[in-house]
Amino acid sequence: MNKLKKILLITPPYHSGVVESAGVWLNVGFVSIAGSLRAAGFEPIYYDAMSYWHGYDDIGKRIESDRPDVVATTAFTAEIVDALKVLKLAKDINTDIVTVIGNVHPTFCYEEILKEHAHYVDYIVRGEGEETMVDLMQTLSSGGDVSRVKGIAYKESGTIAVTPSRVFIKDLDVLPMAWDLVDWPLYTYRTMEGSTLAIVSSSRGCSQQCSFCSQQLFWQRHWRGRTAEHFVRELEYLRDTYGVSVVMISDETPTLDRVRWEKILDLLIERSVGTKILMETRVDDIIRDEDIMWKYQKANIDHIYVGVEATTQEELDVFKKAIRAEHSKKALDLINEYGIVSETSFVLGMPDDTKEKIQNTVELAKYYNPDLAFFLAIAPWPYSDLYPVLKPYVEVFDYSKYNLVEAVVKPKAMTLDEVNKELGHASRDFYMHKIKTLETMTPDKQEFMIKVMNIIANSSYLAEHMQGTIPEEIKKMLDRLTVKSSA
């Protein structure tokens, strides 16, 4: 085989409308993989077709103009249909292009993919991609034996071959990042006018056992953190080089190691980094950090998501959340007390759910009092611990619908249409309630919430999902507060 050189990393053009209503988000995994490939002598190209809102005609033209040796893409479950279309398109343009796919869904569902799509999927990267992609590209370029590349799956002579898993990268600080390949003007956070938004990673892994989630499986309940110094230096670099004013930490639990996390906060304060930080973490870690929440505030932690998921202890135990229901309220109260935007989500549409149970969850969500709440449809990831429980109730088998937005699991006492209707009503009822409390909030949080409410009212996804119009008196209140906040 000829030496491979140019590697086109393409995000699939998948859209569900939820996250995109808040901002335009880059793929930090591809930035990291591109950095490793370039350090090894390859020529990676980062092409974020999703954020450009490019269709398949656009993607085809890009492949034809770039003439890559390799096209690689990525897929969580809801993305897999579009990701496979990208690889098929690449093969249709040039059968000599080597096609690669990775991320959560291919890591666990490689057999299904290779049985059905091996004529245009050459290799699947299982697990972390940086070292595996470099090893695979070097092996293919030199005509070596790909069976010696750890962490891949492929089809050979009609048989699916799976190589041993690759050990996790021990030192995340050594990974080079190809930040210069990012088209920075594209990425922004909609509640901050003129902002430049980056997605950053301070750690990898999850040590929890949530039964509905993919992350603890993907990372094998193993966690590694970058050093505080290295992480904060990256934020400074992004701020000074590319004008990044807000970052979202992509980690599942950046706060797991209290000593490391507090050092990050201390450095952010000492160096006056100033970048606004959006993040998620666990309820338990917020309660643990009650004595240093002032540091969160001073370090510019602007927005914290904690995964509540359920309002009853019974459901929390099914989800293996390892928290007490009352702890969720306390954690959200702490976040609110320090003027930080609080966000959480509730997973609905389980087999035993009813209209009344969902409505009760909404009332409890109001009591928990997060600034933002999202009411999500349970998604039956085929590799999750919860899947055997959900499988008898799955009615939709189109993976693109497994997006936490559309109901695909039918409860015993509800239809899918009824679940979708109640999810919409849940969002509408919760945010109607929040609008009525706007005048009780601090000026900063009130300004943020007004922007969010306007996004909710005008977003094509959310407006449709919330099943109805905003009452006239609520619109008037929102308009009045909008004018007041901009005066």
| Residue pair 319/211 in contact by the 8 Å Cβ criterion | yes
- Answer whether residue 392 is part of any domain: no
Give the span between the Cα atoms of 188 and 67, in whole angstroms.
Answer: 30
* CATH value at residue 334: 3.20.20.70
Nearest Cα neighbor of 427 from 334, 345, 319 is 345
Same-domain check for residues 197 and 323: yes
Confidence of residue 319 (pLDDT cuts 50, 70, 90): very low
Span 22-42, mean pLDDT? 96
Same-domain check for residues 221 and 299: yes
- Answer whether residue 294 is part of any domain: yes
Residues whose CB is less than 8 angstroms from the CB of residue 485 and which lie 6 or more positions away in sequence, other chains included: 443, 446, 447, 450
Mean model confidence pLDDT for the chain = 89
Range with the poorest average pLDDT among 92-96, 100-104, 199-203, 344-348: 344-348
Nearest Cα neighbor of 12 from 91, 99, 75 is 75
Give the span between the Cα atoms of 328 and 310, in whole angstroms.
Answer: 10
Q: Per-residue pLDDT for 95 more than 70?
A: yes
Per-residue confidence (pLDDT) for residue 316, from 0 to 100 = 47
| Span 106-120, pLDDT tens digits | 999 999 999 999 999
Same-domain check for residues 150 and 208: no
Give the span between the Cα atoms of 333 and 444, in whole angstroms.
Answer: 17
Q: Could you list the residue range(s) of the whole structural domain that residue 46 is in?
A: 6-162
- The residue ranking higher by pLDDT, 322 or 459, is 459
Q: Which of 287, 317, 339 is the last residue of a domain?
A: 339
Nearest Cα neighbor of 362 from 386, 344, 379 is 344
Same-domain check for residues 154 and 10: yes
Give the span between the Cα atoms of 362 and 434, in whole angstroms.
Answer: 12
Same-domain check for residues 248 and 308: yes
Give the span between the Cα atoms of 182 and 26, in whole angstroms.
Answer: 8
Same-domain check for residues 13 and 155: yes
Q: How many CB atoms lie within 10 A of CB 391?
A: 11
Q: How far is CA 31 from CA 51, 53, 272, 277, in A?
A: 14, 19, 26, 19
Same-domain check for residues 82 and 123: yes
Give the span between the Cα atoms of 109 and 214, in whole angstroms.
Answer: 12
If 0-12 CB within 10 Å is exposed, 13-18 middle and 19+ buried, where does residue 164 land?
Answer: exposed
Q: Which of 118, 147, 162 is the last residue of a domain?
A: 162
Same-domain check for residues 193 and 129: no
By percentage, how much of the chain surpasses pLDDT 70? 86
Same-domain check for residues 142 and 288: no
Give the span between the Cα atoms of 423 and 418, in whole angstroms.
Answer: 9
- Token duo for residue 472: 């006239």
Domain count, the chain: 2
Per-residue confidence (pLDDT) for residue 221, from 0 to 100 = 60
Stated pTM of the model: 0.90
Per-residue confidence (pLDDT) for residue 2, from 0 to 100 = 65
Confidence of residue 194 (pLDDT cuts 50, 70, 90): very high
- Answer whether residue 467 is part of any domain: no
If you count them, how many residues does the chain have? 487
- Answer whether residue 171 is part of any domain: no
Helix (H) or strand (E) holding 59, with range, is helix 56-66
**C-alpha triplet 255, 258, 261: angle, nearest 5°:** 55
Give the span between the Cα atoms of 275 and 245, in whole angstroms.
Answer: 5
- The residue ranking higher by pLDDT, 460 or 262, is 262
| Span 373-409, pLDDT tens digits | 989 899 888 888 788 889 999 999 999 999 888 999 9
| Span 54-81, pLDDT tens digits | 999 999 999 999 999 999 999 999 999 9
* CATH value at residue 21: 3.40.50.280
Residues whose CB is less than 8 angstroms from the CB of residue 191 and which lie 6 or more positions away in sequence, other chains included: 22, 448, 451, 452, 455
Same-domain check for residues 235 and 296: yes
- Answer whether residue 367 is part of any domain: no
Amino acid symbol at 120:
Y
Cα 221 → chain centroid: 18
- Answer whether residue 85 is part of any domain: yes
- Answer whether residue 282 is part of any domain: yes
Span 232-255, mean pLDDT? 96
Q: Per-residue pLDDT for 233 more than 50?
A: yes
- The residue ranking higher by pLDDT, 197 or 466, is 197
Same-domain check for residues 152 and 243: no
Per-residue confidence (pLDDT) for residue 336, from 0 to 100 = 95
- The residue ranking higher by pLDDT, 181 or 214, is 181
| Span 128-162, pLDDT tens digits | 999 999 999 999 999 999 999 999 999 998 999 99
Residues whose CB is less than 8 angstroms from the CB of residue 255 and which lie 6 or more positions away in sequence, other chains included: 261, 281, 282, 285, 289
Q: Which of 286, 316, 339 is the last residue of a domain?
A: 339
Same-domain check for residues 203 and 153: no
Per-residue confidence (pLDDT) for residue 382, from 0 to 100 = 86
Amino acid symbol at 253:
T
- Answer whether residue 372 is part of any domain: no
Per-residue confidence (pLDDT) for residue 310, from 0 to 100 = 54
DSSP string, 248-278: EE--S-TTSSHHHHHHHHHHHHHTT---EEE
Kindly give the pairing relationship between strand 159-162 and strand 152-156. antiparallel
